[in-house]
Amino acid sequence: MKRIITSIIVGILLIAAVSLDVSAAKKSAKLSKEEIAEMSDTIDKLTQKIYGRTLLSPQDNEELIGIKIKLDNQMLMASNPTLAPLYYKAGNIYKLRDMKPEAIECYQTILENFSETALAPKARTALEQMGVEIAAPSTQTEEQESDDGI
């Protein structure tokens, strides 16, 4: 009888521990407002350095890469419109540093995930200036017409 009660208690404790761990992981996966503000400040600092004709240090490059990785990881979890300005600013830095593939990726992320924000037309313009051909997404009626042979 003691074994059964002990087993039940241990089972309950294990289930509680696992559920707490899962909820903590979900919370830590989301970027807080402070983290977003910190990333924005870092990107602004890097932009100032570039416009001031200062070379970026290896530490600056690591910060920029780290920000991009955090943004991409957050996008895997959920799309958040507060990330659009960070993607746009990061795209601008990459564009100024002649890192075209990275800039295109940032601007394209805005068009694909944040098309309703004010930054979408700016991202489109930046892509066009870089010579990237942008295909407008087809609507459902256009797809039906092409399927019907009309």
Q: Where are the domains of the chain?
A: 31-135
124: Cα separation from own chain's centroid: 17
pLDDT in tens, 43-62: 888 888 888 877 788 888 88
Assigned token pair, 32: 């807080």
Give the integer Cα–Cα distance in Å for 2 and 125: 72
pLDDT band at 149 (very low <50, low <70, confident <90, very high): low
**What DSSP character marks residue 130?**
T
Task: Considering only residues 56 and 69, tell me which one the structure prediction assigns the higher pLDDT.
Answer: 69
pLDDT of 32 above 90 = no
- CB 33: neighbour CB atoms within 10 A? 8
Mean pLDDT of the chain: 81
Task: Please give the model's pTM, rounded to 2 decimal places.
Answer: 0.67
